[in-house]
Structure 1
Amino acid sequence: MTPPYLKNLTSIQAKQQLAEYGANILPEAVTPGIFKIFFRQFKSPFIYVLLAAAILSYLLGQTINAFFILVVLILNAAIGSIQEFSAEKAAMALKKMVPSTTTVIRDDKTIIINTSDVVLGDLVLLVSGDKVPADIHLSSSQDLQVDESMLTGESIAADKSLQNRGSSLSDNHQYCYAGTVVMKGRASGYVMSIGANTEIGKIAADVKEQQTKPPLLLRIEIFTLRITYGILILITLIFVITLARGNDLASVFFLGVALAVSAIPEGLPAAITVALAIGMRRMSKVQVIIRNLVAVEALGSCTYVASDKTGTLTVNEMTIQLLLLADGSQYNVTGEGLDLNGVVEVVEPGKANILLLKLMMHAGILANESYLEKIGEDWHGQGDMVDVAFLVLAKKNGIDYKEARSRYPQILQIPYESEQAYCATLNMVEGEYHLFVKGSVETLLKMLDDGYSIDIEVKANQLAGKGYRVLGLAYTILDSPPKSLEETLHGLTFIGMVGMIDPLRPGVIAAVADCKRAGINVAMITGDHPKTALALAEQAGITNNNANIINMQAVTGKELEKSHEKGSYYFSECVHSTNVFARVSPHQKKQIIEQLMHDGDFVAVTGDGVNDAPALSHAHVGIAMGLRGTDVARESADIIITDDDFSSIVNGIEQGRIVYSNIRKVIFLLISTGAAEILLVIYSLLFGTPLPLFPLQLLWLNLVTNGIQDVALAFEPAEGNELTKPSRLPSEPIFNRLMIERVVVNAIVMGTLAFGVFKWQIDQGLDEDAARNITLLLMVLFENVHVLNSRSESLSIFKQYFFGNKFLLFGMLAAQSVHIGAMYTPGLKELLNLSPVSLWQWLVLLCIALLLIVVDEIHKKWLSNS
């Protein structure tokens, strides 16, 4: 079948197609609506207990209690659903911040556009790592293999060619389908179907996005389940004891409801959801886009970061600075990056070899798939930056790559793939078939004849030891074009080698040092020469990052392979013997990550290529590059770094630690106040007094006054010591020994003082309702004060910026205002047995509440000293 379009579209035609047929987008998965999220709020063990309490209250004639519990539960569900709905919307918006792009030819120019702007008839260029943007009819194909498992279920990549072999999807070798992934090779083709009309679009309505709950939320659910079981056991024990004492069934049940309401932190799930959503938004501001909530928690837990070199630690602006030709002549190249004003100068005048130099220039720009375009006053490179560096080099030497490619047309090609470490091209040059090969020196050495006059390997090692990335070039002349270029890769003539630099990104040295202070091990995994990798690692401070290794050396892929063959013990020893891995294949990268995880590290790994996908998906946290990352790498990752900068990863780790710390603050506030309320009930049993607070008053305390404040803790800023704390173990429970100790101390203070005030009033002959009114106000004030204690586990509140969290200040004022307002509101004050208090009473209660700060400050001081 002949493609219906014989050439590429113009910009005007593309606009017309877009207007007529719409954008190239699939029907979006239906997100749960606000009502579905609302009813989802009732799926909690906490809520089940409270619903049971409401039903039993109604059956026992406590209609007002039952009604109020239901009202509070509905109010809580409404607040939680609004917060969760907003969080889901924010998460979806963040995912769209890194749009997928596609390379097309329009107006006879190669351009990159958003995949949504691809139109019918567009001429699309595909390379390994690309996700196919639409259903495409191939017009050219070079060793193309496509993963179509999402459509066909076949795990083996499909070979593509220009010949059709059947009617089924897997047999249509002339076609590439939207959503499939190019695993190898190059191709071009015309768009036949877009959006909902593609093969994947036809089944998109049946495809549901799989959502996995973050481990943190799973741990919280387990934690809440345990609390629920604990409450039921406690209620059962007290039920038996009080009945044995002769209490009537109704009063015993009333006591059980009070205990249940006291112990249950009803606002916890909503507060944690908000904290995670806030973390996602904060991370996006430091160039870290979270693709799922798992990574918000996980990134802050990292103990090991395995980073790429090029573009992550370095700026990804290759500059060729040195040329060494086969005859021994050497040239220096001036100018940096895409600056074309530099010159190529021979080091020893009189030794210049113009013909050999010209041959190197042509080899570098013909075995090359990149482009160099002038936009306005600036030059912009498109494609692999190593290839772009060769285009810049040729320009400095007066050779235009477009003219050379036009004059010497390409016949066959072997595109560059990381596993093979070379690329090759066969071009017609002045009536002859010239084969040019460009790649790593180790790879080229196996292809050369014996006629070169310099020790290539020694020279390459010398350059690599100075931090240069070294590439070699070779060529030969063939009598006729072969069926396959691979069969001609022997007996080549060496042209020379180039030394290029890619400087460290600003801030990398400081970021690596921050990781060391935070107890995070940083390693570099690269395909470069070991000497080049080691030199750059020394500059970045990576070789000093691990105090356990003295005189660190780079470990190569060959060394990894040998140790792996010996067994897991030797492989583990090899992996932990260095922080610099060079000449490593993508499969070995995955093996390194798996070994580190097996040995107990919590690993984050960066990647950008199609072959990095296994490592990205296997690591605890996969980090893809937003600028140079392939579609498949971004799809496999948990996190996308929009500026490809290692410093952004460290910023993300810091933000992840802040999020986790804020979640602990919320949990501490809710559990400690709940424990204080339980203590109130237990004291009343021990001393034989009436209940200090009724269940309705406890619900009011938990859901209204406390509920206004707890979410505000999720907005807490950094304390400033996030990157000086050691990494926490992934197995460390949220409710650890430190939190348990703090909960016990603060709960005892609040519960004891509140019960003391209640009992004193009863002993003075005060009415029970009046005593409860004062006790409830004291508990509200305790919560106002306690939220300040919760801002840090170790830092004194007097060393914190008081106005650092405006949401918290607003929450404190709102909680107090709502409660005082309820004292004057008809209907509500009768329901809650509230009455106004004098200013003098309020001030006395505030002074009692402030004692909680004194005790917590003493406890923090004691903890810091011990």
Structure 2
Amino acid sequence: MKDVKWYHLNIRETAEKLKTCTEKGLDAEEVKKRQQKYGLNELKEKKPVTLFQRFINQFKDFLVMILIIASIISLVLGEVTDSVVILIIVILNAILGVLQEYRASKALEALKQLASPKTLVVREGKIQEIPSKELVPGDIVLLEAGNYVPADLRLIESVNLKIDEASLTGESVPVEKDAGAVFTEDVPLGERSNSAFMGTIITYGRGKGIVTATGMDTQIGLIAQMLESLEEEETPLQKKLSQFGKVLGTICLVIVAIIFAIGVLRGLGYREMFMTAISLAVAAIPEGLPAIVTIVLALGMQRMVKRHSIVKKLHAVETLGSTTVICTDKTGTLTQNEMTVTAIYTGGQIYKVTGEGYKPYGEFIKEHKGTTISPNSVPDLSQILKIGALCNDSRIEESKDNNTWKVIGDPTEGALIVAAAKGGLWYTELNNDLPRKQEIPFDSDRKRMTTIHYDKNTSKYLVCVKGAPDILLNLCNSIFDNGNIAQLTDDKKANILQINTSMANQALRVLGFAYKELESLPETISPDVIETDLVFVGLMGMIDPPRKEAIEAVEVCKSAGIKPIMITGDYKDTAVAIARELKLSDRIIAITGKELDEMSDEELEEVIDKVNVFARVSPEHKVKIVNSVKKKGEIVAMTGDGVNDAPALKNADIGIAMGITGTDVAKEASDLILTDDNFASIVAAVEEGRVIYSNIRKFINFLLSCNIAEILIIFFAMILGLPIPLIPIQILWLNLVTDAFPALALGMEKKEPGIMNMPPRDPKEPILNKTMRRGILSQSTAIAIAVLGIFFYALNSTENLILARTFAFATLITSELFRAQTARSENIPLFKLGLFTNKYMFLGTLLSFVMMLIVMYIPFISNVFKTVPLTLNQWLIIVGFSLLPAIVAEITKALKL
């Protein structure tokens, strides 16, 4: 297949060569066979890092290298036991690091799979949405504006199709495609108008194609260009922490050097002080911080998936927590995305339409008389329903499993299909009698869509147009009235616009419908030629009710200090009505797209704080809105789904793409993808972002207070002329025991009550703010006092240095484990949180405590660590001293409250 020049073949020859059917596609059994033969439709990536490579990489860390050198020096000096223990601890640290990295990479890999693009295909005669990687040669693929071409294709249908092939050919202008073209000679890649290539972008129109090559056999695969990948670079937070770690490390090394000098001046051995200094340096510097941050972010991203949000970039998790404004689309995000036609105006009459959602069952009732009528008996009603069904790219489908109906395509168009079906006009039958021949797709500038159908009964062409009523009326000179065509006078136009306004005031989305007949098709199919001298038929009003959860989410936003702004293409009256139902604000202030065009950037900045609804806007307006909000110092999240939304999504602090209705271009430009297109999921993601950032603060607070305490213990022991309370092996062991498990457990802490009742954090505020610095100072001091106090007590009461060091060792670990519990919240007392509400903390603390007991009660291990078993009474004293830091932490919380 690789050598076949598909652009030489016509459509029939291509289908025969690939053994496929252009109407029904492949069956499931054939797809399975071809997947086994050709593999997945994806580009080969770099080989993943193996566990062994990850393990070796752990030893490249500067501090670990210092430890290894220290181990070698110890061996040379005859300290074999110290040398072996240091190496064991280094290896245990490395294993832990590997496990953390592996878990984080698996989490990110799972997210990458979730974020992979989807494709519409025809298989077994049905339209299905599948992951693009499951495509096989011979598949029939449907192409729509805004999506990526998922594989190399021989086009079999093209309607005003244009594709941007810049990523492949370097040609900046989109290429017009012609499915019918056949080339007898070899032509360059950029001139193959009957072909589409993987990774290029559909900018206009629609089409259909047969897959001719997948994965590495595609044109883009041949040049090994990766187009679909998640960024795994360091986040701003990780960079900040890395920089902070270097500063802290430098300070710690200076202090350690001072301790070494004091020890030597006091006459302590060089060897003893060297090992103590090295051990203390490693214990003091939180070298595992970046790894813990990575895994906490990755796990947070996985939790977001359960709440219908796929985070593509790690930095988005950090930014989410400080979001102050959410600019959101209305349809499908704030509303249910189940548009239902409830009112029709045609022939001077208003008809109420009953029914629910997408179920094609309902009645048509004359508004004034309240009588139920059949659309077939009313030419005007039958005509408007027919136009709505024909000028349409959506379909409705019944799910056999749960007896529900769903729309494949745009919800607004789905509502028109459902309305027609309620009147007995099914799209499949209409399309059989009036097959579509040409179309002019909808675009946001024209605000209308046109399709041209061949009428088999009259041999004429029927032009069907739907769009914004005010714009459509200007294209009409006649009106369809009680089955007859009459002149469209200014009075009639004014009356129609009044009805349109009345419908819009009821929060209905209103579309106008028109048609005309042609004896033959003109040579040029363009809006200027086709969309003129139309016959106006009527209006359809539909409603997409607000989501209940969106109403609740708006309330959460307001209590969290986040301002929601609605942006919609709907009429101002409709938008304001929905905003009121959502209780978006006590006072709804709306600006239209036309008003936006007339405003300068400075004028918009003056009023942007008060505006909460933007109506009748085009995607281009979104950039202007985002820029104005950002200039006010706000952190902006912006939703979007179309091709033209991409600039605004990239410009926002957080770009949010719709997972269901969003185009591939919008998803590519975004930081976050909603899998359910629900506003409540945005708020849930913001909440999760706050939780993650809060948890990162917690374990940084914990690690630094413990590590600084270890330095203070040795430093003040030197100053006070005491023996060193902890030997190097003990320092290394407690660093391993207390740093890893409790810190990770703090990263998995559940959200605190009231986290969405606090204002958004200032992104410029450092992690180590005044509150945290005060907490670290008080805790590290309290831990140091507790350990030095019990060491002094044990040394004076027993005159046994080994026992005194065991007391200090046990007290330091126990107090740090208590500290881990109190670090679970900066504000809420531990008794309110509950000791067992974080199972990871309970298990991590228990494991750390058991590891401490191992080096105290197993004889041959205790000999290595220079510890002795403790009695119950001794433990009671240790627990008493160890509780001092926890008591200080809880008092600090109480005073702050």
Q: TM-score range by the shorter chain?
A: over 0.9
CA distance in 2, matches of 1:837, 1:828: 15
* Counterpart check, 1:609 vs 2:657: no
* Counterpart check, 1:687 vs 2:720: yes
The aligned residue for residue 365 of structure 1 is: 389
Instruction: Trace 1:523-534 onto structure 2 (pairs within 5 A).
Output: 523-534=565-576
The aligned residue for residue 253 of structure 2 is: 232
> Paired residue for 2:596, among 530, 544, 560?
560
More divergent stretch after superposition (92-101 vs 73-82)? 92-101
Is the Cα–Cα contact under 8 Å of residues 25 and 138 in structure 2 kept in the other structure? no
CA distance in 2, matches of 1:818, 1:499: 70
More divergent stretch after superposition (502-511 vs 474-483)? 474-483
> Paired residue for 1:466, among 495, 501, 506?
506
The aligned residue for residue 485 of structure 2 is: none
CA distance in 2, matches of 1:504, 1:209: 34
More divergent stretch after superposition (514-523 vs 655-664)? 655-664
CA distance in 1, matches of 2:710, 2:740: 15
Is the Cα–Cα contact under 8 Å of residues 412 and 426 in structure 1 kept in the other structure? yes
Q: CA deviation at 1:83?
A: 1.8
> Paired residue for 1:151, among 161, 168, 184?
168
The aligned residue for residue 126 of structure 1 is: 143
Instruction: Trace 1:131-210 onto structure 2 (pairs within 5 A).
Output: 131-162=148-179, 163=181, 167-204=187-224, 210=231
CA distance in 2, matches of 1:63, 1:230: 31
* Counterpart check, 1:600 vs 2:620: no
Q: CA deviation at 1:522?
A: 0.9
CA distance in 2, matches of 1:66, 1:232: 22
Instruction: Trace 1:88-127 onto structure 2 (pairs within 5 A).
Output: 88-97=105-114, 100-127=117-144
Summarize the Cα distance change of 1:13–1:717 in structure 2 as closer, same or farther, 3 Å threshold.
closer
Could you list the per-position Cα deviations for residues 515-535 of structure 1 after superposition, in whole angstroms to 9, with x for gaps in the alignment? 111111111111111211111
* Counterpart check, 1:443 vs 2:471: yes
Q: CA deviation at 1:23?
A: 4.7
Q: Which runs of 5+ in 2 are unaligned?
A: 1-7, 479-487
The aligned residue for residue 434 of structure 1 is: 462
Could you list the per-position Cα deviations for residues 452-500 of structure 1 after superposition, in whole angstroms to 9, with x for gaps in the alignment? 4141333322221221111111222334312123122223222111110
Summarize the Cα distance change of 1:408–1:713 in structure 2 as closer, same or farther, 3 Å threshold.
same
Letter in 2 for 1:691: I
Is the Cα–Cα contact under 8 Å of residues 306 and 524 in structure 1 kept in the other structure? yes
Letter in 1 for 2:427: Y
Instruction: Trace 1:257-268 onto structure 2 (pairs within 5 A).
Output: 257-268=278-289
Could you list the per-position Cα deviations for residues 814-858 of structure 1 after superposition, in whole angstroms to 9, with x for gaps in the alignment? 211111111133443222211111111011111111222222211
Structure 2 SS opposite 1:836: coil
CA distance in 2, matches of 1:256, 1:106: 69
Letter in 2 for 1:374: E
The aligned residue for residue 548 of structure 1 is: none
Letter in 1 for 2:469: V
More divergent stretch after superposition (147-156 vs 726-735)? 147-156
The aligned residue for residue 25 of structure 1 is: 41
Q: How much is the aligned-residue C-alpha RMSD, in angstroms?
A: 2.6
CA distance in 1, matches of 2:224, 2:678: 35
Identity %, equivalent residues = 36
CA distance in 2, matches of 1:646, 1:239: 58
Summarize the Cα distance change of 1:771–1:518 in structure 2 as closer, same or farther, 3 Å threshold.
same
The aligned residue for residue 4 of structure 2 is: none
Instruction: Trace 1:696-735 onto structure 2 (pairs within 5 A).
Output: 696-735=729-768
CA distance in 2, matches of 1:87, 1:820: 30
Is the Cα–Cα contact under 8 Å of residues 645 and 666 in structure 2 kept in the other structure? yes
The aligned residue for residue 363 of structure 2 is: 343
Summarize the Cα distance change of 1:817–1:522 in structure 2 as closer, same or farther, 3 Å threshold.
same
Q: CA deviation at 1:332?
A: 1.0
Could you list the per-position Cα deviations for residues 337-372 of structure 1 after superposition, in whole angstroms to 9, with x for gaps in the alignment? 122221122224599992222221221111111112
Summarize the Cα distance change of 1:323–1:554 in structure 2 as closer, same or farther, 3 Å threshold.
same
Is the Cα–Cα contact under 8 Å of residues 8 and 108 in structure 1 kept in the other structure? no
Could you list the per-position Cα deviations for residues 2-45 of structure 1 after superposition, in whole angstroms to 9, with x for gaps in the alignment? 02217426576452243043454214423322223223334555
* Counterpart check, 1:307 vs 2:328: yes
* Counterpart check, 1:418 vs 2:444: yes
Summarize the Cα distance change of 1:55–1:484 in structure 2 as closer, same or farther, 3 Å threshold.
farther
Structure 2 SS opposite 1:799: helix
CA distance in 2, matches of 1:601, 1:48: 45
The aligned residue for residue 86 of structure 1 is: 103
Structure 2 SS opposite 1:119: coil
More divergent stretch after superposition (592-601 vs 750-759)? 592-601
Could you list the per-position Cα deviations for residues 219-263 of structure 1 after superposition, in whole angstroms to 9, with x for gaps in the alignment? 211121111121233344555666677777556544532541342
Summarize the Cα distance change of 1:439–1:10 in structure 2 as closer, same or farther, 3 Å threshold.
closer
Is the Cα–Cα contact under 8 Å of residues 8 and 107 in structure 1 kept in the other structure? no
CA distance in 2, matches of 1:355, 1:785: 80
More divergent stretch after superposition (742-751 vs 103-112)? 103-112
Instruction: Trace 1:397-416 onto structure 2 (pairs within 5 A).
Output: 397-416=423-442
More divergent stretch after superposition (106-115 vs 854-863)? 106-115
CA distance in 2, matches of 1:226, 1:43: 20
CA distance in 1, matches of 2:73, 2:624: 58
* Counterpart check, 1:281 vs 2:296: no
Is the Cα–Cα contact under 8 Å of residues 178 and 199 in structure 1 kept in the other structure? yes
Q: Which runs of 5+ in 1 are unaligned?
A: 545-550
Summarize the Cα distance change of 1:50–1:519 in structure 2 as closer, same or farther, 3 Å threshold.
farther
Q: CA deviation at 1:615?
A: 2.4
> Paired residue for 1:543, among 566, 585, 593?
585
Is the Cα–Cα contact under 8 Å of residues 25 and 139 in structure 2 kept in the other structure? no
Could you list the per-position Cα deviations for residues 713-747 of structure 1 after superposition, in whole angstroms to 9, with x for gaps in the alignment? 22212222211111101122111111111111111
> Paired residue for 1:635, among 652, 662, 668?
668
Is the Cα–Cα contact under 8 Å of residues 289 and 642 in structure 1 kept in the other structure? yes
Aligned length: 854
Is the Cα–Cα contact under 8 Å of residues 660 and 676 in structure 2 kept in the other structure? yes
Summarize the Cα distance change of 1:40–1:516 in structure 2 as closer, same or farther, 3 Å threshold.
farther
Could you list the per-position Cα deviations for residues 52-92 of structure 1 after superposition, in whole angstroms to 9, with x for gaps in the alignment? 65566567665654543343222112111112112211221
Summarize the Cα distance change of 1:253–1:670 in structure 2 as closer, same or farther, 3 Å threshold.
same
CA distance in 2, matches of 1:367, 1:536: 27
Letter in 2 for 1:79: L
Summarize the Cα distance change of 1:774–1:141 in structure 2 as closer, same or farther, 3 Å threshold.
same
* Counterpart check, 1:8 vs 2:18: no
Summarize the Cα distance change of 1:481–1:766 in structure 2 as closer, same or farther, 3 Å threshold.
same
Summarize the Cα distance change of 1:264–1:53 in structure 2 as closer, same or farther, 3 Å threshold.
farther
Is the Cα–Cα contact under 8 Å of residues 815 and 886 in structure 2 kept in the other structure? no
Letter in 2 for 1:484: I
Letter in 1 for 2:408: Q
Is the Cα–Cα contact under 8 Å of residues 259 and 714 in structure 2 kept in the other structure? no
Letter in 2 for 1:434: L
Instruction: Trace 1:767-806 onto structure 2 (pairs within 5 A).
Output: 767-806=800-839
The aligned residue for residue 256 of structure 1 is: 277
The aligned residue for residue 547 of structure 1 is: none
Question: TM-score, normalization: structure 2?
Answer: 0.90
Could you list the per-position Cα deviations for residues 608-660 of structure 1 after superposition, in whole angstroms to 9, with x for gaps in the alignment? 22222222233222222222222332333222222222112222222222222
More divergent stretch after superposition (202-211 vs 667-676)? 202-211
* Counterpart check, 1:68 vs 2:85: yes
The aligned residue for residue 484 of structure 1 is: 525
Is the Cα–Cα contact under 8 Å of residues 151 and 213 in structure 2 kept in the other structure? yes
Letter in 1 for 2:381: L
Structure 2 SS opposite 1:339: coil
Letter in 2 for 1:535: A
Structure 1 SS opposite 2:755: coil
CA distance in 2, matches of 1:522, 1:216: 26
The aligned residue for residue 891 of structure 2 is: 858
Letter in 1 for 2:357: G
